[in-house]
Chains A and B, each alone.
Chain A
Amino acid sequence: MAFDKMELREVEVWDGNYAAAHAMRQAQIDVVAAYPITPSTPIVESYAQFLADGYIEGEFVMVESEHAAMSGCIGAAAAGGRVATATSSQGLALMSETLYQASGMRLPIVLNLVNRALASPLNVNGDHSDMYMIRDSGWIQFDAFCPQESYDLNLIAFKVAEDHDIRLPAIVNQDGFMTSHTAQGVHTLSDDVAYGFVGEYKPMNDMLDFEHPVTHGVQTEEDWHFEHKARQHNDLMTKVMPKIKEVFADFEKLTGRKYNPVEKYDMDDADVCVVCMGSSVETAREVATEMRAKGVKAGVVGLRVVRPLPFFEIAEALKGVKAIAALDRSSPNGAAGMLFNEIAGALFNTDTKALLSGYVYGLGGRDLTKAHLVALYNELQANADAGKVTTQLQQFIGVRGPKLAFL
C-alpha cells in the first residue's frame, strides 16, 4: 500500500505542534510509540490522524506510559528504522531512565520535547524545567523559537542524528503553548523535497539483519564503562557540531533559511545583551530594536543548540559586550541557573571582561513582557556604565511578594 502525498500551500498557518507533526510525516517515520501529555499531545494526535487518512505508511503504537513509549522507540530503533515521539514535563520525567539508555546505545531517535514546568505544584504551562532535568542525558538538543523553526529543526534533527558518524538521539525543544499552540505562517517544503532532504533511513547494526546478529545494551563495569561514556561524550563534543553546521548549510541552500548554533541579533556592536532560549528570543529581539532607538546598544543571543553546548560560538558572540543577562526559564533550586552557569563556563577562559548576571523568569508559563525586558536592558546599561553588577547577581523577574534576589 502506498501513501498519499499531501498538497501543502507555500505558507501554511500552523502551530508548533502541527509543524512538528508535519515534519515527522514528511520524514516518513517507520514507528512512533507515544503517550499523551499536555502540551505535546497534538503532535502524536496529528500523526495518528495522518496515518488514519493514509498520508503516511508506518506504525503507531499508543503505549501505556512514557517510559514504555521510549522503551518501544528504543526497541524499534535497534531493529533498524526511523523512529520519533513527543512528550513534556512529567512524561519526560517518567521517560528519563530510558533517555540515557537510548543515547548509550547510540540510537538516532528524535524526541519532540514541548517544554513545560515540572510538578509540584502541578502546572501544564511552558517553562524549561523539563529540559534542564535531562540536559546531560547524552541527547543532541535543538531549540525552536517559533513554529517555523519547530518544522525546520525536526527535519534537520533526523539528518544529524541518523548520520552514521553521529548515531545519537536528538531532541527538538519548543516552548509549551507559547510555541506549541501559537499559530503562525510556516513556510513549507513539498513532501518530496522534505523527504529528499532528510533522506532514506540507512540502518546500522540493526537487529532485523538475520545474517549479522547484534547484541545491544551490554553490561560494562569499571573496566569498560568509562571508555564507553568518554567516547560518547567525545563524539558529542567533536563530531556533532560540525555535522550540525553542515546540515544547517544544506538546509539554507534548499530553503534560504539560515540557522546557527548561536543566533546573534544586533550583536556586532552591542554593549549589553540578553542570552535566552525559546519563544522569549523573539520578544527580546523586538525590545532590543526598540532599545536601539533609545540609544542603548542592545543585542540578543539565542541558543539554538543546547547540547552539545556551542562553547566557542557563545564566546565569539559575546566578545566585546560589557554586560550580559542570562535568562533562565527554570528554577535553579540551589545554584545559579543553567544558562548562567553555561555562559559563565563558555566565557571563563576568554578575554571577555563582560559582567554577567542571572535572571529567572517565566516559571509555569508566566509571561515575559516587553516592559520586563526594557527594565532589564536598562539595568544592564547601568551595570555597563558602573563597571560592576549594581544589583544582585541572581534575580527573579515579575514574581509577587517580597523581592527575591540572591548572591
Chain B
Amino acid sequence: MSEVKNIKNLKEFSTSADRFEGANLLCPGCAHSIIVREVLNATNDDLILAASTGCLEVCTAVYPYTSWDASWIHIGFENSSTAVAGAETMYKALKKKGRLKQPDRNPKFISFAGDGASYDIGFQWISGCMERGHNMMHIVLDNEVYANTGGQRSSSTPIGSSATTAPAGKISYGEKRNKKDMMAIMAAHGIPYAAQVSPNKWKDMVKKIQHGMAVEGPVFINAVSPCTTEWKFDPKDTMNIADLATDSLVFPLYEIIDGRELNITYRPKNIVPVEEYLAAQGRFKHLFKDEYKYLIKEWQDRVDEKWAYLQRREEARI
C-alpha cells in the first residue's frame, strides 16, 4: 500500500496540490469545488476520476479546457460509478498481464456525482458497483437538488424545500417527502466503508477519505454540498451554511464500517436549532409563515430522532 499523506495544517492542506485547478465555471461560493479539492488534496496517490453529468462536470471540462490534472472521464448522467469501475477492471487486467506502463503506481479510482446522479438516476449503477466489490470510491456532492438543470427536486430534496418541480405556492409548502437515507441503503450492501462528510470539517473529511482509500473494496461517501444558487444564500456564506448543517445535526457526520459498525465522528459542542439552519436559506423561506410553522417543529423532531438512533447504534455496536 502507498503511504498515507501527512497533513499538518489547513494552510498546507489547501495549497498542497493542484490537480483540480482553480479555473472552472462553478458559481462563486459553490461547495462542489471545495469538496473536490479536499478529496484530491487528501492524497498524493495517482488518481483516476470520473464525474457524472451535472454542475461539476459541465463547469470543469468545457472543450478545449479542462480543470483536471489527473485522468478524468465523463460518460453520462447515471454511469460515472461504472465508468470508474470499468477503468479499475482494466487496471486489474493489465496488471495481471504485466502491461501497465508504470507498474509501480497504485492508483485510486473515484467517481463524483450529484445527488440526482446518485440517489435517483444512477442508483442502480452505484448499487451494482458496490455489490460487485470494485476497488473504488463513489462520492456524492449532495446539494439536495438537480442544480445543473435549474433546481428540480431529487429524492435527496428535504421536505418543505421549494424546488422548481416541487415549488412552494399558494397551497403548497414544496417538497412533500423526506430525504432518502442513502447511507443506510449503501451500508446495507455490506461495503467496507461508508461515511458522511462536510467541507467545513476538513480534518474529519481527510481522515475519512484516507480511510476509504486505504480499504480494499467499494467505498461510499456522502458529502453535503451547500449550493448558493438553489439553496439561496450569499456566496460568502457557504461554510457558514455547512456549519449550520453539521451543528444542527441536519447533516450528522458519521461512518459505517463493513455495513455494521457505526461511529459518530463529530459531536457539536452547542447543537444549533434546526430553525436556524432553515432560516439561513431562501429555499425554506415559506416555512416561516404561520400555517407552516408546524413543519419546522416536525423537522426538529425528525432530526432529534435520527440523532438518538445514530447514538443508540453507535453504543450498541451493531
Q: Report which A residues bind B (CB closer than 8 A).
A: 1, 30-31, 33, 57-59, 61-65, 67-68, 71-81, 83, 97-98, 101, 105, 203, 206-211, 213-221, 224, 228
Contact = CB atoms under 8 A, between A and B. Distances in A.
B84 A80 contact: no
B93 A64 contact: no
A28 to B, nearest CB: 8
9 contacts: A58-B93, A59-B92, A71-B76, A71-B79, A81-B99, A208-B48, A210-B107, A213-B71, A218-B61
Nearest to B70: A213
A208 B89 contact: no
Contact of B86 (A62, A74, A211, A215): A74
A75 B72 contact: no
B73 A209 contact: no
A88 to B, nearest CB: 20
A71 B122 CA distance: 12
A61 B135 CA distance: 13
A208 B90 contact: yes
A108 B99 CA distance: 18
Interface in B68-114: 68-76, 78-79, 82-94, 96-97, 99-102, 105, 107
Given A59-B93, A208-B101, 10 more contacts: A57-B93, A61-B132, A63-B82, A67-B79, A75-B84, A81-B93, A208-B91, A213-B70, A219-B74, A224-B63
A242 to B, nearest CB: 28
A207 B73 contact: yes
A220 to B, nearest CB: 5
A76 B62 CA distance: 23
Contact of B83 (A58, A71, A219): A71
Interface stretch (B33-41, B123-131, B185-193): B123-131
A31 B86 contact: yes
B105 A79 contact: no
B97 A30 contact: yes
B87 A75 contact: yes
Contacts of A30: 90, 93-94, 97
Contact of A68 (B50, B74, B82, B92): B82
Given A75-B86, A207-B87, A210-B102, A216 B128 contact: no
B46 interface: yes
Given A61-B132, A210-B105, A216 B73 contact: yes
Contacts of B100: 208
B189 to A, nearest CB: 12
Contacts of A71: 75-76, 79, 82-83, 86, 125
